[in-house]
Amino acid sequence: MSQAASMHGAVEAAESPLTPESWGKLGMWIFLAGDAVGFGTLLAGYGAMRATSADWPSPFAVLGINLTAAMTFLLICSSVTMVKALEWLGKGDKTRAIRFLFVTALGGAIFVSLQAYEWTHLIHRGLHINGNPWGASLFGTSFFLVTGFHGLHVTGGVIYLLAIMRVVARRPSPAASYNAVEITGLYWHFVDLVWIMVFTFMYLL
Amino acid sequence: MATAEHKHPNYMAIFWYLAILTVIEIAVIYMPLAKFTIGVLLCALALSKAVLVAMYFMHLRFETRTLGMVAITPLVIATLLVFVLLPDGFAVMKRTVGVKATATEPAKH
C-alpha cells in the first residue's frame, strides 16, 4: 500500500486481509466460492437422481463426446490465452494484452455457439427437458439445467471480457488495469474449472 | 500496486498437463475395467485437473493459506451434501428396485 496508508492506522485497517493487493480479488473469490456451492449442489443432485433411477440412460452413449471433448479443449485453450493477456499486461504491453483478451472472449463465444449446436442436435433426436426416448425423464431435465447454467456463465464471461477490454484500452497505464484483469481471469478460469467437472460427471461417467 | 504482480508460472506446461489429462480421461472410458474403477479414475483425473487450474491459472498457490481455505470450502460442502443425500437415495432405490423386479417378472413368463 501507499506510504500514506501506513502512516494512518485507520486507513491501514481497511486493507483487505487475505488479498493485500485489492478488495476486489477477495470479493471475487467469495463470489466464486458461493457459485461453486451452486454448481456443487446441482452435480450432487444429479448424482442422487441418477443413483436412484432404474432406467438412467448411459450419457456417454446417448450424448456423444467427440464435440464436447473439442469444447473442453477449447475452454482450456481460452484459459491459456487469458493468463497470457495478464502476463503481457504485467510486462506493460497493452496492445498484446487486449489482443489476448479478445481471443479469450472469442473462444468463449465459439464454446457457446457449439453448445447451441449440440443442444439443437440433441433436441432433434428427442432429448427434451421433460422427457427423452432413452429412459428416465429427469436425464433431460438435469442435462439442460446443468449445461444451461454453465453456458449462461460462459455467456456472462464473454460480456465481462469485452467490458474489461474497454477498461484496459481506456486506462493510460497498463499497471492501472492489472488487478481488474486478474480478477476477470479468476472468473474465467472458474468457468473452465466447472466445465472440467461437468464434462466428467455428466458426459464421461 | 507493483507488489500485486507475482511470478508467472510456466503456463504452457500446465496447458499440456491439462490436455494430456483430458486425453487420458477419454481413454479411460474405453478401457476394459470395472465400472467402479473407471468412476474412481475419472473422479481422480477431474479433481487433479481442477487443482491444476485453481493452483496455477487462478494463482492460488501464490496466495495466502486462508484464501485457499475459502476456495476449498465449497468442495467440503458439496461432499457433505452427497452424504446428506445418501439415506434418501437408499430409500428411493429400495422402492425402485422393488418396482423394477415386479415390472420385469411378467416378461419372463
For B70-85, how does the pLDDT look when each residue is reduced to its tens digit (9 = 90+)?
A: 999 998 998 899 888 8
Q: What is the pLDDT of residue A11?
A: 47
Q: What pLDDT is stored for residue A4 in this prediction?
A: 47
Residue B42 and residue B62 in contact, taking contact as beta carbons nearer than 8 Å: no
Which of A29, A72, A84 is the closest to B67 by Cβ?
Answer: A29
pLDDT higher than 70, residue B100: no
Of the listed ranges A50-64, A174-188, B34-48, the least confidently predicted one is A50-64
Q: What contacts B68, CB < 8 A, 6 or more positions away? A: B60
Q: Which of A169, A182, A164, A160 is nearest to A22 (CA)?
A: A182
CB proximity B37 to A under 8 Å? no
Residue B5 cell numbers, joined: 504482480
Query: Is 90 exceeded by the pLDDT of residue A64?
Result: no
Q: Which three cell numbers stand for residue A195?
A: 466445465
Give residue B107's pLDDT.
46
> What's the confidence (pLDDT) of residue B97?
65
pLDDT averaged over every residue in chain B: 82
Q: What is the mean pLDDT of residues A56-62?
A: 88
* Grid cell digits, residue A203: 458426459
What mean pLDDT do residues A62-77 have? 92
Angle between helices B65-108 and A23-51 (to 10 degrees): 10
Q: pTM for the full model?
A: 0.87
Which residue stretches of A9-90 are H helix?
9-12, 23-51, 59-63, 66-90
Q: Check residue B102 and give its pLDDT.
A: 56
Q: What sign has the CA pseudo-torsion B69, B74, B75, B77? A: positive
The set of residues, in sequence order, having a beta carbon less than 8 Å from that of B33 and lying 6+ positions away, is B41
**Average pLDDT value for residue range A183-188:** 96
Residue B99: the pLDDT is 59
Between B99 and B11, name the one with better pLDDT: B11
Interface test with A, best of B6, B10, B18 (most A CBs within 10 A): B18
Please report residues of A whose CB lies closer than 8 A to that of B74.
Answer: 33-34, 36-37, 40
**pLDDT above 70 as % of chain B:** 82
Per the CB < 8 A criterion, the answer to whether A63 and A122 are in contact is yes
pLDDT of A2 > 60? The answer is: no
| Record: contact B89-A189, CB cut-off 8 A | no
Statement: residue A115 has pLDDT above 70: yes
**Grid cell digits, residue A125:** 433426436
Q: Which pLDDT score, from 0 to 100, does residue A5 have?
A: 46
User: How much is the pLDDT for A119?
Assistant: 95
Share of chain A above pLDDT 90, in %: 73
Judge contact between A9 and A163, C-beta under 8 A. no
Is residue B52 within 8 Å of B18, Cβ to Cβ? Answer: yes
Give the pLDDT mean for A147-165: 97
- Domain parsing of chain B, residue ranges: 1-63, 66-109
Confidence class of residue A9 from pLDDT cuts 50, 70 and 90?
A: very low
B103 pLDDT exceeds 60? no
What integer best gives the mean pLDDT of chain A?
Answer: 90
Q: Which of residues 15-34 of B touch A (CB under 8 A)?
A: 15, 18-19, 22, 25-26, 28-29
Closest-CA residue of A relative to B85 is A48
Please give the pLDDT value at position A205.
Answer: 86
Q: Is B76 on the interface with A (CB under 8 A)?
A: no
Q: Report residue B22 CA to chain centroid gap.
A: 13
Query: Quick check: A153 and A111 in contact, CB under 8 A?
Result: no
Please tell me the CATH superfamily of domain A21-204, with its number.
Cytochrome c oxidase, subunit III, four-helix bundle (1.20.120.80)
What pLDDT is recorded for position B98?
A: 62
Q: What value of ipTM does the predicted structure carry?
A: 0.85
How large is the average pLDDT for residues A38-45?
92
Overall average pLDDT of the A141-158 stretch: 96
Distance from CA of B26 to the nearest CA of A (A): 7
Q: Between chains, do B46 and A200 touch, taking CB under 8 Å as contact? A: yes
Gap from A143 CA to chain B (nearest CA, Å) = 19
Residue B8 backbone phi and psi in degrees, to 5: -95, 125
